[in-house]
Amino acid sequence: MQCKMCQNQAVLKERISNENLICEYKRQFRLHISLPNEKIGFYHCPKCDYSFFATEGENDISGSNEFYNALNKISWYYFSEKHEYDFAKQFIHNGDKVLEVGCGKGAFAKYIPQAQYLGLEFSTDAKKMAEENGVNVQNISIQEYAKNHSGEADVVCSFQVLEHVSNPHSFIQAKVDACRGGGVILIAVPSEDSFIQYAVNGILNMPPHHVGRFNDKCLHNIAQIFNLKLIDLYHEKVQPEHINFYKSVMFSKRFFAPKLLDSNPLRKITNRLGRFFEKIPNEAFGHTVIAVYQKL
């Protein structure tokens, strides 16, 4: 299998059952998903450290517009406030042209009133929510946008988006193309150096929701692949909404080997106990890492 980031050879780490994945989405979120009738593998690239899900036939397993519109109906899916927004706003100055890719309902726009903001978003429902709040959003891909707006943006950012993308190389290259020379590119993703790397049955970190995973090494390698300068790599602390998640995952890890999917009822009991017995070290990484790049 060819790596979707650097095109080198990737190694199969684990296979997951499509049937079990479909059942878990139905059980946890009452979502009915469809997947290609092919086995899904979890791959890792030893060259660039990118990890990703793919089928043997390389069919697209990322979520559709209908899938994300269904997720939009879950009250907590689009947070209006995120710690990463507070961190990111320091790189945006008065009058900057800011392009947010995969902007959801455009919540980041209210953090940067001094900027000229434009959001790109596939979900039609999210675009409607953004427009209700007076946020300028277009239903267009970054690849399409960059063709006609090369080098126009001072800042190009994406928060919790890259992990959803089945072709990350094309996506990042388009972000680079849309940014001016010397401009800033921000990428916030779930961190594979945090507790979530050990999460079992964490189906929102699997297809069709997430198809890629990133550790710090991969984020460093992205700078080399796309001729960027990495100017900051920031790990958030464990956020209040993730405290029980952290405790459950790390406590269960003491007794069971991590795997992607597991129906063992003892694991579920251990997860619940972890909320009471597991402690969070001060140095523990939270869910999200933010890479800040400068276009050379």
Q: How far apart are the C-alpha atoms of 222 and 226, rounded to whole Å?
A: 6
- Selection from 174, 81, 67, 167 nearest residue 122 by Cα: 67
Q: How far apart are the C-alpha atoms of 176 and 156, rounded to whole Å?
A: 8
Q: Tell me whether strands 153-159 and 97-101 are parallel, antiparallel or unpaired.
A: parallel
CA terminus-to-terminus distance, the chain: 31
Considering the chain, what is the average pLDDT of its residues?
Answer: 94
Predicted pLDDT of residue 71? 85
Neighbours of 82 (CB within 10 A): 20
Mean pLDDT of 47-75: 88
Residue 113 has phi, psi (to 5 degrees) of -65, -20
- At 32, list the tokens: 């009915």
Neighbours of 71 (CB within 10 A): 18
- At 10, list the tokens: 């990737």
Q: How far apart are the C-alpha atoms of 183 and 149, rounded to whole Å?
A: 14
> pLDDT at residue 239 above 70?
yes
Is-contact 78 102, C-beta < 8 A? Answer: no
Q: How far apart are the C-alpha atoms of 273 and 278, rounded to whole Å?
A: 8
pLDDT tens per residue, range 134-156: 999 999 999 999 999 999 999 99
Provide DSSP, the chain. -B-TTT-SB-EEEEEE-HHHHHHHHHHHH-------SS-EEEEE-TTT--EEEEETT----SPPHHHHHHHHTSTTSS-S--HHHHHHGGG--TT-EEEEES-TTTGGGGG-TTSEEEEE-S-HHHHHHHHHTT--EE---HHHHHHHSTT-EEEEEEES-GGG-S-HHHHHHHHHHHEEEEEEEEEEEEBTTSGGGG-SS-GGGSTTT--EEB-HHHHHHHHHHTTEEEEEEEEPPPPGGGHHHHHHHHHHHTTS---S----HHHHHHHHHHHHH----TT---SEEEEEEEE-
Instruction: Give the residue with greater pLDDT, 235 vs 66.
Output: 235
CA angle 220, 81, 186 (to 5 degrees): 25
Is-contact 197 149, C-beta < 8 A? Answer: no
79 pLDDT band, cuts 50/70/90, is: low
pLDDT tens per residue, range 152-202: 999 999 999 999 999 999 999 999 999 999 999 999 999 999 999 999 999
Q: How far apart are the C-alpha atoms of 112 and 99, rounded to whole Å?
A: 12
pLDDT tens per residue, range 58-68: 888 999 888 88
pTM of the model: 0.94
